[in-house]
Amino acid sequence: MIVSAHQSAYNPWLGYMHKILVSDVFVVMDDVQFEKNSFINRNKILQNKNEIMLSIPIHTKDYKSKTIKDMQISSGMWKTKHLKSIEQSYKKSPCFEEVFCQLENIYLQESDLLIDYTNAFLDFLVSYLQIQTKIIYASSLNIRSKKLDYVIELTQKVGGDCFVFGSLARAYANEDKLKENGIIPYFQEYKHPLYQQMSTPFHPYMGILDLLFNENAADIKDIILKDNITKKELPCQKKS
């Protein structure tokens, strides 16, 4: 069974979604420390050919002692601002009506917790794109280990024998230790695809909203996978 994992994310980039698509199980790491200036609570959209950052404001006092699932939002005005920015940016895009009416439901929630919005965003993506990957939240697994042992315990608890890492994990993921624990690693090297965009030149590394508004839902999974490895092609599918 192929497993991947990542911190919670608001409007995640396409490489995040690629991890989900090539996995049988994707674990949302909501039980790890929140990182300031990361993409947990923010990402970019494209407005009038300019990249702008949408950030959910967070109370960061003592954040190093808190997990992502404990992080609280510091202002309620962000929802109106984000929706207005999204509408202004994409109201002329091909798929605006279809996407925006569903997206609004995420912002109708009344919660002070970041996780309620990142979880809702992921639920929307899984439903809208008809993704079959099972989503599990790490906070439900009661993981006690840290660093690489965290990955090992997580993978074992969900019954996995293959784990998809990001490319930067090569610096710390000891392949021998993983294999000793029955886990075959794969290190993702994501190649960003081109797609229809209301801007020239093309702007890569936007949050997935940019793709959703510009391309039909039926084509999006193929676009994310274009020129990248698929689940069937993963080397860890071929066990020695």
pLDDT at 188 over 70: yes
Print the domain residue range for 96.
2-237
Q: What is the average pLDDT score of the chain?
A: 95
HEC letters along 127-188: HHCCCCCEEEEHHHCCCCCCHHHHHHHHHHHCCCCEEEECHHHHHCCCHHHHHHCCCEEEEC
Count Cβ atoms below 10 Å from residue 161 Cβ, excluding itself. Answer: 15
Please give the average per-residue pLDDT across 128-149, as a whole number. 97
- For 205-231, the pLDDT digits (tens) are 999 999 999 999 999 999 999 999 999
Taking the C-alpha atoms of residue 1 and residue 163, their distance in angstroms, rounded to an integer, is 9
Domain tally for the chain?
1
Q: What is the reported pLDDT for 240?
A: 41
CATH number at residue 121: 3.40.50
Dihedral over Cα of 196, 200, 206, 210: its sign: negative
**pTM of the prediction?**
0.95
Is residue 130 a contact partner of residue 143, using CB atoms and an 8 Å limit? no
Rounded mean pLDDT, 42-67: 94
The packing angle between helices 96-107 and 114-128, to 10°, is 150
